[in-house]
Structure 1
Amino acid sequence: MTPRANGSRAEEQRQRILTAAVGVFSRRGYRATSMNDVAAGVGLSKPTLYHYVATKQDLLVQVYERVLDESLASARAIVAAAADPLEAVRGLIVDRVAYTCEHRDLLKICFEEESELPPELAEPILARRRAYEAVVLEAVEAQVAASGADLGMATKVYVNTCLGAANWVYKWFDRTGALTPRELGEQVARVQLAMLAG
């Protein structure tokens, strides 16, 4: 077997472990979950699990990194492809709502387990979050400049309000309901964009 094949298989196993950890963390909570629980969730022995991941905390960090890296890449792509700033903001809101609905277990961990991260691990994650928020803020500022819209609040407050509404759907979105994640995103965006039209 080639080294590349070995590397690919190891990465596949790490992704399986992370997926199992997300499921267990989401159901039981981070603090109540043991590495034995994660090992059982992925069907590995505990010694084999430790071959791929050093600590439970490492798994929690990987959850945050995955969500924020995916979100940042998607946000940058949406802005780059948008015909104008308003379309960029609309796309960002729709995407945030849809992603949150489609990855509720991941987002539940991110929103409810942040206090479990020590400062030295939290800071790089916060830097990723700030980078994502900066993309949204720049798009909103571009739309305000283009339209002359009066938000009646600081632009950053508006952005935090939009993201707060989009993120909170992890608490109440009903997969069996009438709306798909993207349809819900379109409705949320329609309400939030009314202030930006100018």
Structure 2
Amino acid sequence: MTPRANGSRAEEQRQRILAAAVGVFSRRGYRATSMNDVAAGVGLSKPTLYHYVATKQDLLVQVYEQVLDESLASARTIVAAAATPLDAVRGLIVERVAYTCEHRDLLKICFEEESELPPELAEPILERRRAFEAVVHDAVEAHLAHTGTDLGMPTRLYVNTCLGAANWAYKWFRPDGPLTPRELGERVADVQLAVLQR
């Protein structure tokens, strides 16, 4: 066995553990979940689980890091590929709605368990969130500067409204409904972009 193979297998096991934790946290809530529950969810003994993760809190932090790192990377890619600032804003809104609908278990944890993070662990996560929000804010500002549009409200308020609507979709989106996550994202974007195109 090469070190690369060992590392790859260990990472695969960590991802399985994280997926199991997401499932259990989402169903039972973080506080009501024990490491025994996570171990059972992934089919490992508790001592083996502790070989890969030190605490339940570490798993919660990893959930936040995964969501925010994926969101930030995706947002930067969308902005870099957009033909215009307005296209960038549309792409960001559509993607945020779609991601939220496609990862409802993850988003449920992120929005409902934040109080479980102690301040020293919460601050780096908040920095990631602010970085993501800054990408959206800058795209809106670029559009306003490009078109001379008067938004009629602070840009931060507009961005928070857009993201709030997108993020809340984890509560009410139904996979068996008439729209796919991306189609829903397009509809939400149509409504929100109307403010930018007055």
TM-score category of the 2 structures, normalised to the smaller one: over 0.9
Residue correspondence of structure 1 range 111-126 to structure 2 within 5 A:
111-126=111-126
Structure 1: any 5+ residue segments left out of the alignment? none
- Aligned match of 2:69: 69
Cα distance per residue 1:54-100 (max 9 Å; x no partner) = 00000000000000000000000000000000000000000000000
Cα distance per residue 1:148-172 (max 9 Å; x no partner) = 2222210000000000000000000
Q: How far 1:181 moved relative to its partner?
A: 0.1
Residue type of the alignment partner of 2:162: C
Q: What is the aligned-residue identity percentage?
A: 86
Residue correspondence of structure 1 range 18-57 to structure 2 within 5 A:
18-57=18-57
Is residue 150–residue 195 contact of structure 1 (8 Å, CA) maintained in 2?
no
Residue type of the alignment partner of 1:27: R
Residue correspondence of structure 1 range 1-198 to structure 2 within 5 A:
1-198=1-198
Residue type of the alignment partner of 2:60: L
Residue type of the alignment partner of 1:170: Y
Structure 2: any 5+ residue segments left out of the alignment? none
Q: How far 1:130 moved relative to its partner?
A: 0.3
What is the rounded CA distance, in whole Å, between the counterparts of 1:123 and 1:161 in structure 2? 23
Q: How far 1:176 moved relative to its partner?
A: 0.2
Query: Runs (4+) of structure 1 moved beyond 2 Å?
Result: none
Is residue 17–residue 42 contact of structure 1 (8 Å, CA) maintained in 2?
yes
Residue type of the alignment partner of 1:187: R
TM-score of the two chains, using structure 1 as the length reference: 0.99
What is the rounded CA distance, in whole Å, between the counterparts of 2:172 and 2:17 in structure 1? 27
What is the rounded CA distance, in whole Å, between the counterparts of 1:97 and 1:166 in structure 2? 5
Cα distance per residue 1:91-125 (max 9 Å; x no partner) = 00000000000000000000000000000000000
Q: How far 1:17 moved relative to its partner?
A: 0.0
